[in-house]
Amino acid sequence: MHLASTSLLAMMNPVDYSPAEPGKGALLLDPQPATHTTSRLRTFRRRILSGTALCFLLGLVFWCHPLTVGRPNELAQGSVGIAVDPRLEAYQNPENAKYCADWSPAVEARDNVSVTFELPTEADLLFFLSRGPVSGGIDLVRSTSSSTGPVEVNVTATYHDIGDLRRTKVCRMGAADEHGLLIWAEPRHPHGHPTQNVQFTIIVALPIGVQSYKDLTTDLARFAHTTMDFFDWWSPVSFEVIRLRTSDAAIHSGLMGRALFIQTSNADVQGNFAGYELGVQTSNAPIQVAAIMFGENVGSESRVQLKTSNGAIDVDMVLLSGYANNTLRAVVQTSAAPITINRRLANKDPIEPAINSSFFLDASTSLGAASVQLYPEYEGTYDLQTSSAPAEVWEGTKTEDPLGKGRHRTVNKTLDGEHAQGSMFWSRDGEPPEGVRRGAVKIITSKSPIVLFW
Ligand SMILES: *[C@@H]1O[C@H](CO)[C@@H](O)[C@H](O)[C@H]1NC(C)=O
Ligand SMILES: *[C@@H]1O[C@H](CO)[C@@H](O)[C@H](O)[C@H]1NC(C)=O
Ligand SMILES: *[C@@H]1O[C@H](CO)[C@@H](O)[C@H](O)[C@H]1NC(C)=O
Ligand SMILES: *[C@@H]1O[C@H](CO)[C@@H](O)[C@H](O)[C@H]1NC(C)=O
Ligand SMILES: *[C@@H]1O[C@H](CO)[C@@H](O)[C@H](O)[C@H]1NC(C)=O
């Protein structure tokens, strides 16, 4: 495991995901271990990381046990409720609880009370659900005290009036291999004041010795989510499908999983994600993420979907794969705000970039500039549409053939101006190579420039 982690760190270095502004969402590699082993790693990674080794390592880190669930494909089914988990419907009523916390020890003089629950690490589904007028925050952290389990959940309720507390319940729910908590509150009196809401802080401590979990779902309206501990190449923790769902509250995450679906509204989403499929949806707020996507097998497709409105989208995307012919398909949508996409591959490194991979991008906004960076291997079409502003392709200054076959970079512009169209490819004679079309990039905005860097 240590070998795998070390190599993954090495692998990520060329992509340079080091934190640009500490504390501003761009958490990433733990700098401590990096500095004391950097030179050792440098020689190490030149030896180790051939395509097959990479493939093996990815497999080792992420999927040490065979997967039994089918690949989720929810992004294809539209974007409404991307993080909705129908399994939670069974757990919305405290009457079906295994038991609920007893608030009687809470005394009038105190303004908070805590209760602790334990959940099994091997659950098919871990969930955190709220119903009624409650709000607060949930933090996923790595436990330092417990190495193998169980998952310890500490719920603290903060209240002004003991009467408000008594109108809430925190219940341990579950059936078969699904385990979780329900935070429940009586519907508010029509004339009730919102400050009467009881605030809950949920701290979920996942034992440090467990490196793979199955599904995790939250459905917690008005709960800020923080899961920054889990994007750690040194000691990776992976999930199968993670769904984080809230509203009017920010989600700041670092997570690795097979599929990640993140949904809120009126608040920003920030974080670093690694997996096969990523969906992020919010509104009236920015999205700032790094998406490290993997190829699952020969010819597989990985997806990224980022949607908001009235907020900028800033994303670093990379496809890493030990397999050939993978596709990365990305949909990026906002309005009245800029879009910035960096599509980077570790192409100057001994690590094999995803071989013969394809990239499909559908990006749209309005009244905001769009800047999209492709990787040099990209060969495909582009379609850039704006109004009252230029839409341009800027070629990089490095004209070396990324495959070292002595080919030249060609951009064939068939339409120029506010609506620019064409294709880009590598060839010896300036003619498009036979049968090679590995992508399509479409970018739409209005009243603002578009720049496509290749
Ligand atoms: C809970 O109440 C105690 C005593 O009033 C206080 O010291 C503590 O900071 C409170 N904790 C939270 C999380 O509000
Ligand atoms: C739960 O959190 C509260 C408030 O932060 C703390 O006082 C209490 O010790 C914690 N309990 C456990 C079991 O961790
Ligand atoms: C990838 O696709 C190309 C072109 O379709 C094909 O020639 C090649 O065999 C494929 N590679 C693999 C490993 O299947
Ligand atoms: C990559 O694509 C080329 C052209 O389609 C094909 O000849 C080659 O076999 C492919 N490489 C792999 C590893 O599939
Ligand atoms: C540029 O693209 C057009 C339309 O696809 C095509 O007809 C033309 O041959 C291409 N020119 C070059 C030099 O590749």
pLDDT score at 146 = 65
Cβ–Cβ < 8 Å for 355, 52 = no
CA 358 to ligand 5 center in whole angstroms: 20
pLDDT above 60 for 340: yes
pLDDT score at 37 = 33
Task: Round to whole Å and give the CA distance between 135 and 58.
Answer: 38
pLDDT above 60 for 390: yes
pLDDT score at 199 = 94
List residues bridging with 291 in a β-sheet: 273, 317
CA 327 to ligand 3 center in whole angstroms: 13
Task: Round to whole Å and give the CA distance between 8 and 56.
Answer: 11
pLDDT score at 353 = 63
Q: Which ligand minimizes its atom distance to the CA of 434? A: 4
Give the mean pLDDT of 374-397: 92
pLDDT score at 185 = 93
pLDDT in tens, 174-202: 999 999 999 999 887 777 665 567 899 99
Give the mean pLDDT of 201-217: 94
Establish whether residue 265 lines the binding site of ligand 3, counting it when its CB lies within 6 angstroms of any ligand atom.
no
Q: Which ligand minimizes its atom distance to the CA of 354? A: 4
Give the mean pLDDT of 149-158: 94
Pick the more confident residue, 73 or 363: 363
Per-residue pLDDT band for 78 (boundaries 50, 70, 90) equals very low
Distance set, CA 403 to CA 309, 377, 381 (Å): 39, 8, 20
Which of 325, 358, 379 has most ligand 3 atoms within 8 Å of CB, for mutation?
A: 325
Beta pairing, strands 178-185 & 168-175: antiparallel
DSSP 309-330: SSS-EEEEEEEE-SSBS-EEEE
SS3 15: helix
Whether the bond into 66 is cis, omega within 30 of 0: no
CA 295 to ligand 3 center in whole angstroms: 15
Pick the more confident residue, 202 or 75: 202
Q: Assign residue 248 a region (left: φ > 0; alpha: ψ between -120 and 50; beta: otherwise).
A: left
pLDDT in tens, 65-74: 323 233 444 4
Q: Hey, what amino acid is at 443?
A: I
pLDDT score at 108 = 61
Give the mean pLDDT of 229-237: 79
- How many percent of the chain have pLDDT more than 70? 77
pTM: 0.83
Q: Which ligand minimizes its atom distance to the CA of 155? A: 2
Give the mean pLDDT of 264-277: 96
pLDDT score at 168 = 93
- The overall average pLDDT reported for the chain is 81
SS3 378: coil
SS3 240: strand
Per-residue pLDDT band for 401 (boundaries 50, 70, 90) equals confident
pLDDT score at 195 = 53
Residues in the chain: 454
pLDDT in tens, 304-323: 999 999 999 999 998 888 89
pLDDT in tens, 246-255: 999 999 999 9
Task: Round to whole Å and give the CA distance between 43 and 54.
Answer: 16
Per-residue pLDDT band for 438 (boundaries 50, 70, 90) equals confident
Give the binding-site residues of ligand 4, using a 6 Å CB cut-off.
324-325, 355-356
Which of 382, 383, 410, 412 has most ligand 5 atoms within 8 Å of CB, for mutation?
A: 412
Cβ–Cβ < 8 Å for 299, 272 = no
pLDDT above 90 for 5: no
Q: Residue 355 is encoded by which pair of tokens? A: 């071989």
- How many percent of the chain have pLDDT more than 90? 58
